[in-house]
Structure 1
């Protein structure tokens, strides 16, 4: 090796690592140093581009194939997208809570000065959309009952905008006029106005509704604001970094597999598996392309396509990728692994030429491990009957503070009219779906005995109940306030998630 500036040597050493391991690296390094002018301190830009380009290509092997380059690029893009999604989702967990305490009180006073505000609080970072087909950023809803001030929709909305702007919020969108053209029985006097504002990483969507023709028990409207986190800039940076790293790793792994499996069968397996992986991931990546429309409370992360298309294709892609890597390991183990097997068993050489036997051993080991982890519920069925646990009053344990599940229990003898009034009360400002259960509903007693049996005649005495999905966890207190004290009410429960 000729004498050269140490800085140049170190730079060339880093660049030749783009080539796969082997004597080619040393040959390139010697050639580069011999051809470098005596006064050169760093590689020329053309040299950097050339070495990166040809080194990355050499990683893929198959010098006569151009298709491997296209395939590797697509695999790297798909892997980069998945890595970016994972980093973005994990990064959101490090984002602080939605406004609570003094911060929430300040926003409430800005938007609804002097009014009693229900809702607010924190929420999960990501929640399932109401139709179950995707995900969106978790949000908190705050609302006030209709008042003479809020009934002047245009004036109250304009005043709320002005107050928020004075408090440092930036108005980013204004809702289009209310259009009820296709609604049966629409009232021309109905009004709704709203806007979207941002401050830092927080996004707020305000709406004021007025339905003057609504029945008294439904109320003639309300005013609400929904608040959520926009993905902070540092999370975006982490997602891009993860995308680059996983794309590079996928490129290197693709090259490693391509160089090791040179047979036509191996190539066909690799191409087939890679195409299946791409079909499972790239459509979701295309859905991540930015679209138009103003942000509202249904704002979703860019990676929601993975959820919208279903986890099945992405999981299948991951399983196929893992299977392809495992096949390469079995058919042609890396030298360090082969040496370790030879040292441990003395029979790695025989196994290497009998990949079917090695595969069978791996499968048997996986089966044994799976059986060891499998736990069958061998507990005998309870011979006796459980004692139903019937709550009373308002039940809101700390473990339920981020839960969207709630339940309202009523006496079985509650009059139909009173039931309708209770239903109207909890529907006024809480969103979400609900179901009603009584003695003939399958699983009715699960709410009291967690699957256990009750003694004959006890079921008929248990309260009926609604299971209600809240629009946001903080709305439970407002719902409890609305229905508590109404005829027939036994309990209002905030249920911990997963209970």
Structure 2
């Protein structure tokens, strides 16, 4: 087993010191410290991959880069699982609404299924939407949904409508969350005409049955009181293991890639080193700034109201709303890797990286 653990070390390091390391490990193993020795082998091997033994910050930068790679890899892995989810069917929505309210006539219902699992402005993502995606409208890229609505009881009877809705959802086998109240409109804070207590509230109830999620909104508009229904899919079960596996693979790959570039730029001309470090550092700023901005907001949003389905993983990373910084950061990393890949002759007396 210990021989396999040596794969955590760089190839040149293994060629020179593998026999010595294994001999030392075999001497220590009978003392009962096998698990600790194995952990130390991996830890020192990962550190040796980074080179720069005198540096105190290279591990920090490698960790920042590797975790970012893991998060984006997990996001991509969950996205792939979503592509295999069951397509939405307008007949399912019609059946669900008809089962809940067989005594009411639907005034509007989507009659065609969506063209793909994710859409932007009603269409599948394509190169024609590149400008919208990169220049601030990335939030429009979202899960496809189907809608239906009909006129319901007057707005002053909405508490009775809500109570009846809960009863019908329970009878139809739907598991529903607590209702979410939101202002029907906003007014300017501090304005004498602004009385927050008088603003009517829309009521939204989220329910789940099997892989279907039904969002029911009771509109507060006194002129055209409506009840709206939106059907979407729940998160596929395969998204969770796929996200975990993708995160581990992405993190390890990010560490390996950073270590390769770090060792390749060690001992190079100072201009090459500084330029590569600047490109990598600024790229990490462009990658992590959206993440650090989005994660607290998403967490606060999830804690403030019930959710039957958590928001998609890439939304926690600020994507694709902030896809332009991500793309610019990726281009900078490509330039940094290009600098690391430039051929050069390593001095014969330069020591190998030590763990």
Q: What does the per-residue CA deviation read over 1:155-176, in whole Å, with 9 as the maximum and x for residues that have no partner?
A: 2332222121222222223122
Q: Does 1:30 align with 2:23?
A: yes
Distance 2:330 2:289 in 1: 15
Q: Does 1:160 align with 2:165?
A: yes
Q: Does 1:82 align with 2:72?
A: yes
Q: Does 1:104 align with 2:93?
A: yes
Aligned with 1:176 (options 174, 181, 184): 181
Aligned with 2:213 (options 182, 203, 211): 203
Question: Which has the larger helix fraction?
Answer: 2
Alignment RMSD (CA, Å): 3.3
Q: Tell whether the 8 Å contact from 2:138 to 2:320 is kept in structure 1 after alignment.
A: yes
Q: What does the per-residue CA deviation read over 1:208-232, in whole Å, with 9 as the maximum and x for residues that have no partner?
A: 23544x3xxxxx2221111222322
Aligned to 2:132: none
Change (3 A) 1:193 1:315: closer
Aligned with 2:53 (options 60, 63, 88): 63
Q: Does 1:126 align with 2:118?
A: yes
Distance 1:297 1:99 in 2: 20
Aligned to 2:321: 308
Distance 1:153 1:195 in 2: 13
Distance 1:191 1:306 in 2: 30
Change (3 A) 1:27 1:299: closer
Aligned with 1:143 (options 144, 149, 171): 149
What is the Cα deviation at residue 57 of structure 1?
Answer: 0.4
Number of aligned residue pairs: give it: 311
Q: Does 1:236 align with 2:240?
A: yes
Q: Does 1:326 align with 2:338?
A: yes
What is the Cα deviation at residue 51 of structure 1?
Answer: 1.0
Distance 1:53 1:312 in 2: 35
Distance 1:280 1:237 in 2: 28
What is the Cα deviation at residue 86 of structure 1?
Answer: 1.8
Q: Tell whether the 8 Å contact from 2:180 to 2:205 is kept in structure 1 after alignment.
A: yes
The aligned runs of 1:341-352 (5 Å cut-off) are: none
Using the size of structure 2 for normalisation, the TM-score is 0.76
Using the size of structure 1 for normalisation, the TM-score is 0.56
Aligned to 2:281: 275
Change (3 A) 1:112 1:151: farther
Aligned with 1:16 (options 6, 10, 14): 6
The aligned runs of 1:338-417 (5 Å cut-off) are: none
Distance 1:181 1:104 in 2: 31
Distance 2:226 2:10 in 1: 66
What is the Cα deviation at residue 76 of structure 1?
Answer: 0.5
Aligned to 1:49: 39
Alignment gaps of 5+ in structure 2: 123-135, 347-355
Distance 2:236 2:143 in 1: 12
Change (3 A) 1:93 1:196: same
Change (3 A) 1:298 1:28: closer
Distance 2:342 2:230 in 1: 54
Distance 2:307 2:39 in 1: 45
Distance 1:12 1:96 in 2: 45
Alignment gaps of 5+ in structure 1: 1-10, 215-219, 335-499
Distance 1:177 1:75 in 2: 39
Q: Tell whether the 8 Å contact from 2:181 to 2:202 is kept in structure 1 after alignment.
A: no
SS in 2 for 1:143: strand
Q: Tell whether the 8 Å contact from 1:273 to 1:320 is kept in structure 2 after alignment.
A: yes
Distance 1:229 1:65 in 2: 49
Distance 2:58 2:43 in 1: 14
SS in 2 for 1:17: helix
Distance 1:320 1:191 in 2: 47
Distance 1:24 1:179 in 2: 70
